[in-house]
Amino acid sequence: MKGNTMAITTATGARYFIGGTTAIPYTTDAAAIAAFEALTWVEIKEVEDGGEVGDESSDVTFQSLGDGRVRHLKGARDAGTIAIVVGDDPLDPGQIAMRAAEKTKFNHNFKIEYEDAPSELYENSVDYFRGLVMSARKNIGTGDNVLRRTFNVGVSTPILSVDTALA
């Protein structure tokens, strides 16, 4: 596109947060986003890899006898499991909250803020969702590795995105 500015960016600066277990009303996207924005958040520090975020439809197939073709249909939507890899810090309040959340069976609130504002006139975009912390495994590796921990978060709700907007 000649003459247009691209607004792609890197993942550098992305920040991950955990909130409490307060239920969020998903009556409308706007109401849910307002409820998420009113929460108190604890940043999860030393995130090295934030995983993949977003819905994927299951593949539902049907095989027609008449023409011998398989038809693909979109089934249930699944936001999957996000693998958040951190440099293991036993004193970080966010990581402490994640380890505590893993010991429960309750959904927690999550926020990801991206450093993607295209200029100082804009705000960063944000994703909000609820999920279960399914694991808090420590990755040891070899002698010269940093101790890491992987928190797998099973996403239980739609991911609500607040796109970058004018400040």
Place of tokens 């495994």: 137
Residue 165: per-residue pLDDT: 77
d(CA 129, CA 72): 28
Which DSSP string do the residues of 109-153 spell out, in sequence order? Answer: EEEEE----SSTTEE--EEEEEEEEEEEEEE--STTSPPEEEEEE
Residue 166: per-residue pLDDT: 76
Amino acid sitting at position 74: K
For the whole model, what pTM was predicted?
0.90
Residue 88: per-residue pLDDT: 98
- Provide the 8-state DSSP code for 40: -
Residue 1: per-residue pLDDT: 43
pLDDT string in tens for the chain (167-residue length):
454 555 788 899 999 999 999 999 988 999 999 999 999 999 999 999 999 999 999 999 999 999 999 999 999 999 999 999 999 999 999 999 999 999 999 999 999 999 998 888 889 999 999 999 999 999 998 999 999 999 999 999 999 999 987 76
Residue 4: per-residue pLDDT: 53
- Provide the 8-state DSSP code for 157: S
Residue 5: per-residue pLDDT: 56
